[in-house]
Chains A and B, each alone.
Chain A
């Protein structure tokens, strides 16, 4: 069964550094998402991406965050200058459309030191 893959599984970065989290969504999917889960908290929506542009973003997704789909297969989340509070699990998801469910990757654990 096709799946969403995320790399790396764990990323450790110094505060203030840039980080790029990578995702390969399922190939025929059209909608792409990033979520995060801070330890002990809910899974929170960050951003949705459709037709090569951001369709919706949360208040968490400020100017330090950006997303890109550079080559039709990868979907990346960049954090320009990381803060301690960016430490979380980051999940990528994708879906075809309509009421089809989102399929999630296994996440990247981001640890900011």
Chain B
């Protein structure tokens, strides 16, 4: 199942710089996307989401951009901090018939972000 793909297994950035994590999707039925962060020995923690009616959503240091024509989204973290070091997953639920979605998430493979002090 390759409907959501994160092609970069890892990313290393310097503290204070921008981190850009990328995600591509193939299913044009996806209309809502989420980013989760995961530390070792913990479950995924919700970070930020975006609906397909928007092309940008911002929450503090985190901004998600959506390019529907390219079926691509990206998560920007500015400025990056050592505590941001984690695995980042993009995920999408299916668009439900009649507007109802039970919301099962399809996850990308994850990108390991390392922020160096």
Contact = CB atoms under 8 A, between A and B. Distances in A.
Contacts of B109: 42
Contacts of A33: 103-105
Contact of A45 (B46, B106, B110): B106
Contacts of B41: 106
Nearest to B6: A42
B49 to A, nearest CB: 6
Interface in B58-117: 89, 91, 102-110
A99 interface: yes
Contacts of A56: 102, 104
A41 to B, nearest CB: 8
Interface residues of B, number: 23
A104 B104 contact: no
Contacts of B104: 33, 45, 48, 56, 58
B49 A101 contact: yes
A42 B107 contact: yes
Interface in A46-103: 48, 50, 55-56, 58, 91, 93, 95, 99, 101-103
A112 interface: no
Contacts of A58: 104
Nearest to B4: A42
B43 A101 contact: no
A101 B107 contact: no
A104 B103 contact: no
Contact of B43 (A42, A48, A105): A105
18 contacts: A31-B103, A33-B104, A35-B105, A42-B108, A42-B110, A43-B44, A43-B91, A43-B107, A45-B106, A48-B104, A91-B43, A93-B43, A99-B32, A101-B34, A101-B49, A102-B103, A102-B105, A105-B43
Interface of A: 4, 6, 31, 33, 35, 42-45, 48, 50, 55-56, 58, 91, 93, 95, 99, 101-107
Given A56-B104, A95-B103, 7 more contacts: A4-B43, A31-B103, A35-B105, A42-B108, A43-B44, A56-B102, A91-B44
